[in-house]
Structures are given as structure tokens and as C-alpha cells.
């Protein structure tokens, strides 16, 4: 466990350096955004000195890394708000959205996948396959506005955007969860069909067990095991991929904070958001791998 978790360090270091380099390659200057292009050269130079942007890039990177190692993400260039305070507000909102979307995906995807596997070759299986393929092909930037138009504008059942009420999470969570449910449906179906053809399933049937007992006591436990990896990967993707959905629905999570900071050239906030998202993604993947090894003893010897 210690060996695998130690691999997080070079990944996070690489993300940090790459993000720093790419941000400074993006056209635009935060000083121009803050002061306007009509500002005098003296005012621009003074603000650059105050923000530390007049230092060489390697000096800025070294100072930033030193601050990160001390747990200091710095302050926002524009609002002078501590970045830890911004993250403490935005990250829980993204986490709630991701967990809700994952729950929707599990509640829809796994039952549909089981039903599709049990009806393999029948019209029900074909119908589920067609629906899941179409859901998987719908991007969030298209599905989100469609759901907003139908359920918020036309029907008036749900808020258009924002976080003003508890039901405001429904549309963004469904937008993320439907695509995830399509993936889980296909994976559950494929995994269960493979298990149902195993010898120990035939043995269980030969012993006189009912199909319900064979499914619940033998097949499902083995079939759902590979989904642990898929769920972990998708949870990490939800945390990293909620940027578009949060922007569409004005959900004040870390994705929207990231977009706003990029538009304003707020380097410290952007770097902190990317670092937190990357760390969350890598950490969840590592924990998923450890959980899979714990659940399946056959993989514990693998490296």
C-alpha cells in the first residue's frame, strides 16, 4: 500500500509543473485583465512586482512549490481571498454533485445491465443496448441544455441553474449520471454474461438451485467485482469532468471556479484547482486499485 501510494508524488509533481508551464503559455496577462490595456507602464510594473509576476518563471515555480509544501496555496490575484477558503467552499459542492451523479448511475446502470443480461438475445436486450449507446454518445454540453430546456423552462418543475434550493442538484446530477449509467449498463451486462457461462454456475444449477439463488448467491457477487474498478475510475472522472456541467448550471463547484480563474488569468487559483482535481483523481484510482486487490485475492500478487 505504501509503495503504491508513493507513486502519487511524481504524478502530482508532474501535473504541478505542467500546469504552471501551460498557464504561462496562454495568451493574455492578468495585469491587463485587472488594470485594463490603458494603464500606464508604471502602474503595470508596480502591480507585477506586488503579484510577483516580475520574477523569472523558475523563481515563481520554486516559490509556488515551496508554498505548496507548507500547505499554502496563496491568495487569489483578483479578490485577494485565500485560495484554501475558495477550495473549502467549492470542493464540497463538486463532491456532492459527483456522489449524487454516481448514485444515479449505479441505480440505473446496474439493474438495467442485469436485466439486459438475463434477457440476452431478446428484444428487451436490444432495447437496453440501443438506449445505453445513445446515452453514452450524448455529451454533457448538449444533454445539459436539453434537460434544462425541457424540465426547467418548458415544464417549470426544476430551477434553471444555481444552488438556491436542494432540488437544484437534480438536473446537473442527472446530466452526469445518465452518461455514467450507460457505461455501467454495458459493463454489468458483459460481466454477468461471462460469469453465467462459468463451470461453477453450471454446478450450482446442477445442484438444484433456483435461477434466483444462482443469480443472487453466486453470479452477481463475481460479476459485480470488476465494476469496482469502473466505478472508481468514473468517480475520478466525475470530479475532473464536472467543469462543463457546473458551468452550464452555475453550480459553484471547483470546476466553475477553475473556468472563472482561467478567464481572469488568476494563475494561483487555476493551479490550485488543477492540483486538487488531479490529486483527487489519482488518489481515487489508487484507492480503487487497493480495494479491488482486497476484494479479489487472486490479484494480490500482481504488481
Task: Return the SS3 of 62.
Answer: helix
CB atoms within 10 A of CB 138: 15
* pLDDT surpasses 60 at 39: yes
| pTM (2 d.p.) | 0.83
Once rounded to an integer, what is the mean pLDDT over residues 183-195?
A: 88
pLDDT band at 16 (very low <50, low <70, confident <90, very high): confident
Q: Which residues contact 40 (CB under 8 A, 6 or more apart)?
A: none
Residues 127-162 have pLDDT tens digits of: 998 998 888 888 888 999 999 999 999 988 999 888
* pLDDT surpasses 80 at 299: no
* pLDDT surpasses 90 at 108: yes
* pLDDT surpasses 80 at 279: yes
For the chain, the average pLDDT equals: 83
Q: Residue 23: its pLDDT value, please?
A: 76
- DSSP notation for 207-276: TT--HHHIIIIIIHHHHSTTHHHHHHHHHHHHHHH-HHHHHHTT--SHHHHHHHHHHTT-HHHHHHHHHH
**Would you say 173 and 159 are in contact if contact means Cβ atoms under 8 Å apart?**
no
**Would you say 78 and 264 are in contact if contact means Cβ atoms under 8 Å apart?**
yes
Residues 155-172 have pLDDT tens digits of: 889 998 888 888 999 999
**Would you say 288 and 299 are in contact if contact means Cβ atoms under 8 Å apart?**
no
Q: How many angstroms separate the Cα of 141 from the Cα of each of 148, 175, 237?
A: 11, 9, 16
Instruction: Give the integer Cα–Cα distance in Å for 202 and 150.
Output: 48
* pLDDT surpasses 60 at 303: no
Residues 257-273 have pLDDT tens digits of: 998 888 887 888 888 89
Q: Which residues contact 123 (CB under 8 A, 6 or more apart)?
A: none
Amino acid at each position: 500500500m505504501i509503495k503504491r501510494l508513493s507513486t502519487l508524488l511524481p504524478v502530482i509533481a508532474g501535473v504541478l509543473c505542467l500546469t504552471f508551464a501551460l498557464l504561462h503559455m496562454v495568451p493574455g496577462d492578468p495585469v491587463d485583465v485587472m488594470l485594463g490595456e490603458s494603464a500606464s507602464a508604471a502602474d503595470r510594473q508596480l502591480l507585477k512586482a506586488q503579484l510577483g509576476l516580475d520574477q523569472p518563471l523558475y523563481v515563481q515555480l520554486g516559490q509556488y512549490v515551496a508554498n505548496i509544501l507548507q500547505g499554502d496555496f496563496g491568495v487569489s490575484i483578483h479578490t485577494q481571498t485565500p485560495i484554501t477558503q475558495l477550495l473549502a467552499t467549492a470542493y464540497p459542492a463538486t463532491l456532492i454533485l459527483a456522489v449524487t451523479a454516481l448514485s444515479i448511475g449505479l441505480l440505473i446502470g446496474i439493474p438495467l445491465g442485469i436485466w439486459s443480461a438475463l434477457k440476452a438475445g431478446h428484444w428487451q436486450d436490444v432495447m437496453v443496448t440501443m438506449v445505453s449507446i445513445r446515452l453514452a454518445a450524448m455529451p454533457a454540453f448538449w444533454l445539459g441544455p436539453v434537460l434544462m430546456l425541457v424540465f426547467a423552462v418548458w415544464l417549470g418543475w426544476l430551477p434553471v441553474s444555481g444552488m438556491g434550493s436542494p432540488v437544484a442538484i437534480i438536473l446537473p446530477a442527472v446530466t452526469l449520471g445518465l452518461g455514467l449509467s450507460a457505461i455501467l449498463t454495458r459493463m454489468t451486462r458483459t460481466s454477468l454474461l461471462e460469469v453465467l457461462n462459468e463451470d461453477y454456475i453450471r454446478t450450482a444449477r446442477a445442484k438444484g438451485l433456483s435461477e434466483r439463488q444462482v443469480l443472487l448467491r453466486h453470479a452477481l457477487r463475481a460479476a459485480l467485482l470488476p465494476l469496482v474498478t469502473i466505478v472508481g475510475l468514473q468517480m475520478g472522472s466525475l470530479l475532473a469532468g464536472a467543469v462543463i456541467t457546473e458551468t452550464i448550471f452555475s453550480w459553484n463547484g471547483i470546476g466553475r471556479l477553475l473556468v472563472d480563474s482561467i478567464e481572469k488569468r488568476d494563475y494561483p487559483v487555476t493551479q490550485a484547482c488543477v492540483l486538487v482535481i488531479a490529486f483527487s483523481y489519482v488518489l481515487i484510482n489508487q484507492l480503487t486499485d487497493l480495494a479491488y486487490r482486497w476484494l479479489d485475492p487472486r490479484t494480490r500478487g500482481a504488481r
